[in-house]
Structure 1
């Protein structure tokens, strides 16, 4: 049975992916986080010596790296933390492979970000622009990997969280609706998000086919965050919800962010012979998770 190590297994995607893979019964799953007692191992994977020792102990066939600091403002305030989590961990995974014989190296699935894009249309993989420390550290992580031994998935995901510590965009908006808190939605920030479930399917496909490369993995026909949440609430049957439509420029943010993170996903579809869904269909599926 092939061994899969999930790094960052207690987070928003990791919790769902762990469940998803265990239900498949095709892999021996090892879970790792920095602090969570609910994972098989607790270790700071940015520490080179201890991370290499653990990797050699497990000797995984596949490594799925989900570890990330996604708080853009925190990354800007603490570049050292952003580097350690977003980049150094990946560097250590790459170093581990480098030290192994070629036949013993792990295939790495690196979950990256859509935060590189702002072309005003559906961006291709080459259309990278770096606005902030979060994007910079995630991009440096990509560059640390041997392109023949890894698949890099640039993505964004939403859906019902099974993590005790992390919430998605739809989780936050669902909670705000039910608590009666004011809901403000960005009318000028566009995304091509996948459901957590679809992204889990994609990751399993990557384990099966092991086609290396850097790919945009998102939904087709992206929408503004406002349109996403309005559609989400409508599918839930909420007819009475009120919200404020705002521009992200209205917020007093310290850090510049991209506004249009819609992605062209044709490269992944062609390489993996997999048809990615439309965002509207993903929203419908996600809404059913909350009913």
Structure 2
């Protein structure tokens, strides 16, 4: 009989959460459990167990963990809106830090393994691209909360992998989940004009690559912080021009704006990007080139729609 390991995915209705369910539910080595605050809206309803649960209700979460007893937890749930975290710092702290601490404490007590998703927003954008051990200096409450979550996980003494990532894009079966590529594709396909930032530099991350990195982390039980992203540095505008080129959209619909003009110069890093050598050597991570990822998305687009 095939040995199964229990993997719990938090935030299972989210963009990465759904991709992880698609990936892991097909893997016979894992029994997949998934929780989300809202009812299940993942069209893939086979081969995994779903529970609607408010992660911030610590008693309910404790009871659920005691019942399921997961060996691995991939914690994707978070409040990721920069503006949302500024508007409600108490909620941001409770969700982004408090829940991470509770999951880390559970893993410490049970010899479980925690994969925590983090962000390039732990950096200030003055010295990108960054290595894992470069100095952090978040500019926003969101970035600060994700850095605090990293710290409470480290201090818990549990076994963990923290995967920092950048501007995740791609497609899954949920039509309500948008991102830079789908947003630009949808707007330009309808000949709608769009404004894109010309003075923020990023290495966008293909969601399929990020899901694969999560799986590699638990398979190798690789501990520490890992940078996971694409390898090509673009401004947001440059990425959108590539999207337009790929699908032969009218590039004259694209106009460039500054981050300052939309209030994003003070609370978002100007230039991040990651040095991926650690993830490559330890995890065996290999990012998909941006154009190749667009080709994959184009095929998936027909499948999902």
Query: What SS does the aligned partner of 1:127 have?
Result: coil
* 5+ long unaligned stretches in structure 2: 42-48
Number of the residue aligned with 1:221: 232
Structure 2 residue aligned with 1:64: 74
Secondary structure in 2 matching 1:203: helix
Q: Which residue of 2 aligns with 1:121?
A: 128
SS at match of 2:34: strand
Q: 1:261 to 1:62 in 2, by over 3 A?
A: same
Give 1:69-80 correspondences, 5 Å limit: 69-80=79-90
Q: Give the whole-Å Cα distance in 2 for the aligned partners of 1:148 and 1:273.
A: 23
Report the counterpart of residue 205 of structure 1 in structure 2: 216
Provide the rounded CA distance (Å) in 2 between the counterparts of 1:68 and 1:48: 15
Match of 2:112 among 103, 106, 121: 106
Q: How does 1:127-276 map to 2 (within 5 A)?
A: 127-146=135-154, 149-156=159-166, 157-163=168-174, 165-239=176-250, 242-253=253-264, 256-276=267-287
Aligned to 1:153, the other structure's residue is in SS state strand
Distance 2:20 2:144 in 1: 26
Q: Take 2:83 and 2:300, find their aligned partners in 1: how far apart are those partners?
A: 30
**1:130/1:240 CA distance change after superposition, 3 Å:** closer
TM-score by length of 1: 0.91
Query: Is 38-47 or 79-88 further displaced after alignment?
Result: 38-47
1:195-220 Cα offsets, whole Å, 9 max, x none, are 11111111111121111000111111
How many residues are aligned here? 287
Kindly state the Cα deviation for residue 123 of structure 1 after the two structures are TM-superposed: 1.2
Distance 1:165 1:264, change over 3 A: same
1:255 Cα deviation from its structure 2 partner: 5.6
Partners of 1:285 and 1:220 in 2: how far apart? 17
The alpha-carbon deviation at position 164 of structure 1 amounts to: 5.0
- Contact (CA 8 Å) 1:221, 1:279: kept in 2 or not? yes
Q: What is the Cα deviation at residue 228 of structure 1?
A: 1.1
Are the equivalent residues in 1 in contact too, given 2:230–2:289 (CA < 8 A)?
Answer: yes
Secondary structure at 2:120 match in 1? coil
Displacement, 1:166? Answer: 2.7
Aligned to 1:16: 19
Residue 61 of structure 2: aligned partner: 51
Distance across 2 between alignment mates of 1:177 and 1:154: 30
- Residues 64-101 of structure 1 show CA distances to partners (whole Å, capped at 9, x for unaligned) of 00001111011101101211221111011012123x2x
Paired with 2:128 and 2:266, the residues of 1 have a C-alpha distance of: 22
Cα offsets for 1:221-276 (capped at 9, x unmatched): 22111111111221123245521011111113596211112111112112223333
1:198/1:75 Cα in 2 relative to 1: closer, same or farther (>3 Å)?
same
Secondary structure at 1:211's aligned position in 2?
A: coil
Q: Which runs of 5+ in 1 are unaligned?
A: none
What is the TM-score of this pair, normalised by structure 2?
Answer: 0.87
CA shift, 1:193, in A, is 1.6
CA contact (8 A) 1:45 1:92 kept: no
Q: Could you say what secondary structure the match of 2:121 adopts?
A: coil
**In 2, are the aligned partners of 1:161 and 1:171 still within 8 Å (CA)?**
no
